[in-house]
């Protein structure tokens, strides 16, 4: 380890990727420091995956109470929802997780600075805390500051909230509007609809979840509409005007919606403002991301970057995997194989859930000469008694030449849980015959993935 610098690695940003890189680098004997000026755990723990999943759990109970009646359960009275209880219990859980992250860093021997960090030169970082500035030097500096919500500019946009703010609303919005068509927009439309809001989703395109399998998008749209989400496609917000304690949202179609809250879930951008990139000569690419090579090095070789700052999937497990690879490369001196970004599974926690891994049907048709599509949709066994009309979609995409399963998709309850296991098979390059030879677990919905014998189309 170099005696020329105070640290061998200094990490800016204590989110999932930054904390993992710091801890793993320290475990090799490296001297590691990390700076965070907001909250430990980053977006995922504080205003992303964790609170979102807790709210998603909460939003399913309305359906669960209704479903229970078909199984003989009688409610003493109508179920009521208390927003403050959910919000405050969520806050307590996040505080607990913040403490765990701090203890993990301390236990690994990482020096934590509660400060705003900025690059001064390729080996020096400025740290500002409570008005005072100090400087530290490091052989290598890792940028891991993640992304930040972006709200489009339109008249009255200041009345919209972003996905960081939506978790801590003072009052529950009985009428809720979401602007956007990505997974965050779709998830929050489902969440607030499930919690009892009259919910609208506004999207400028023809259908939400661009980039996902088309059949998955269409199926999800139908199921969300059945559950009561008001979907408005091919439209946008023209302006928002206050109306007492409410908001009048004027759409480009001429329609006016009166709501209590507007969430602008219109995407996230790399959180690079104030990092001092210009001071060291790092320029962003056309999409506003930091370019890196296979060793996670930026244009300045002593400065590294990973996670949402770079041009990969904006997913917490991706940042964690990249952090492990970065440490192996720079501190364990190994040459790890590049991450296989093509087979990274993901889930959308809307109602019903989406789970997906590998190629969509459309992408598979572009990549492979001929494909076989196996698909099924059905009402799950649970709902034969509940009376719930929700349906499940399962789909396998197979390269006809090699019989390899190149994509798997599901829309239905706990789709993310199920696709995690299927992702292992897709990542391993297993064939449709491997699926066919696997004995199913009966009675489960999951067994459908190994019992689809006849192609639906080619």
Say which DSSP state 204 is in. Answer: S
Q: How far is CA 316 from CA 138, 215, 344, in A?
A: 26, 26, 11
From CA 271, how far away is CA 148, in angstroms rounded? 6
- 73's enclosing H/E stretch is none
Residue recorded with tokens 């709902």? 383
User: Token digits for 128?
Assistant: 């500002």
**Length reported for the chain:** 458
Provide DSSP, 334-352: --PPPP-GGG--EEE-SSS
Backbone angles phi, psi at 165, to 5 degrees: -90, -20
Residue pair 320/304 in contact by the 8 Å Cβ criterion: no
**305 membership: H or E segment, kind and range:** strand 303-305
Question: Residue 426: which H helix or E strand, with range?
Answer: helix 415-427
**Which of 77, 83, 51, 82 has its CA nearest to residue 65?**
77
Alpha-carbon span 108 to 113, nearest angstrom: 15
Contact 434, 425 (CB under 8 A): yes
User: Who contacts 156 (Cβ-Cβ below 8 Å, separation ≥6)?
Assistant: 239, 240, 241, 242, 247
Token readout for 232 is 């408005």
Closest-CA residue to 3 (of 139, 119, 149, 124): 139
Q: Which of 250, 351, 368, 442 is catalytic?
A: 442
Considering Cα of 162, then 277, then 119, then 108, what sign does the dihedral take? positive
Helices (H) and strands (E) in the chain, counts: 12, 21
Give the CA radius of gyration of the chain: 24
Query: CB–CB of 198/175 below 8 Å?
Result: yes
Strand, helix or coil for residue 32: strand
Interatomic CA distance for residues 454 and 187, integer angstroms: 33
CA dihedral 328, 308, 39, 11 (to 10 degrees): 40
Verify whether residue 200 is a known catalytic residue: no
CB 213 within 8 A of CB 361: yes
Active site residues: 442
């Amino acid at each position: 380890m170099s005696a020329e610098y105070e640290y061998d690695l200094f990490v800016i940003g204590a989110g999932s990727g930054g904390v993992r890189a710091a801890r793993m680098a320290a475990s090799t004997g490296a001297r590691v420091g990390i700076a965070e000026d907001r909250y430990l755990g980053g977006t995922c723990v504080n205003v992303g995956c964790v609170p979102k999943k807790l709210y998603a759990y909460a939003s399913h109970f309305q359906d669960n109470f209704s479903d229970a009646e078909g199984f003989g359960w009688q409610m003493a009275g109508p179920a009521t929802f208390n927003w403050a209880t959910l919000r405050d219990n969520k806050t307590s859980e996040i505080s607990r997780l913040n403490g765990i992250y701090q203890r993990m860093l301390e236990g690994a021997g990482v020096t934590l600075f509660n400060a705003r960090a900025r690059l001064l030169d390729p080996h020096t970082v400025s740290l500002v805390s409570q008005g005072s500035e100090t400087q530290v030097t490091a052989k290598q500096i890792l940028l891991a500051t993640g992304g930040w919500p972006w709200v489009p500019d339109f008249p009255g946009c200041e009345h919209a909230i972003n996905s960081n703010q939506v978790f801590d609303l003072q009052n529950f919005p009985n009428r809720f509007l979401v602007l956007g068509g990505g997974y965050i927009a779709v998830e929050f439309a489902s969440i607030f609809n499930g919690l009892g809001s009259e919910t609208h989703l506004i999207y400028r395109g023809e259908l939400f979840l661009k980039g996902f399998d088309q059949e998955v998008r269409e199926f999800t749209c139908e199921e969300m509409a059945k559950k009561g989400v008001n979907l408005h496609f091919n439209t946008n917000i023209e302006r928002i005007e206050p109306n007492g304690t409410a908001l009048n949202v004027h759409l480009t179609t001429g329609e006016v919606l009166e709501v209590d809250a507007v969430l602008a879930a219109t995407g996230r951008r790399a959180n690079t403002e104030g990092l001092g990139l210009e001071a060291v000569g790092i320029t962003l690419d056309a999409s506003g991301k930091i370019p890196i090579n296979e060793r996670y090095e930026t244009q300045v070789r002593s400065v590294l970057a990973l996670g949402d700052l770079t041009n990969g999937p904006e997913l917490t497990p991706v940042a964690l995997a990249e952090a492990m690879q970065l440490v192996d490369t720079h501190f364990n001196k190994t040459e790890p194989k590049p991450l296989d970004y093509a087979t990274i599974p993901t889930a959308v926690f809307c109602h019903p859930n989406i789970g997906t891994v590998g190629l969509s049907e459309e992408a598979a048709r572009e990549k492979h000469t001929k494909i076989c599509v196996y698909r099924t949709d059905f009402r799950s066994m649970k709902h034969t008694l509940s009376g719930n009309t929700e349906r499940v979609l399962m789909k396998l995409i197979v390269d006809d030449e090699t019989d390899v399963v190149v994509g798997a998709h599901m829309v239905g309850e706990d789709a993310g849980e199920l696709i995690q296991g299927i992702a292992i098979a897709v990542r391993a390059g297993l064939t449709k015959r491997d699926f066919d030879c696997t004995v199913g677990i009966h009675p489960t919905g999951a067994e459908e993935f190994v019992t689809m014998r006849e192609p639906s189309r080619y």
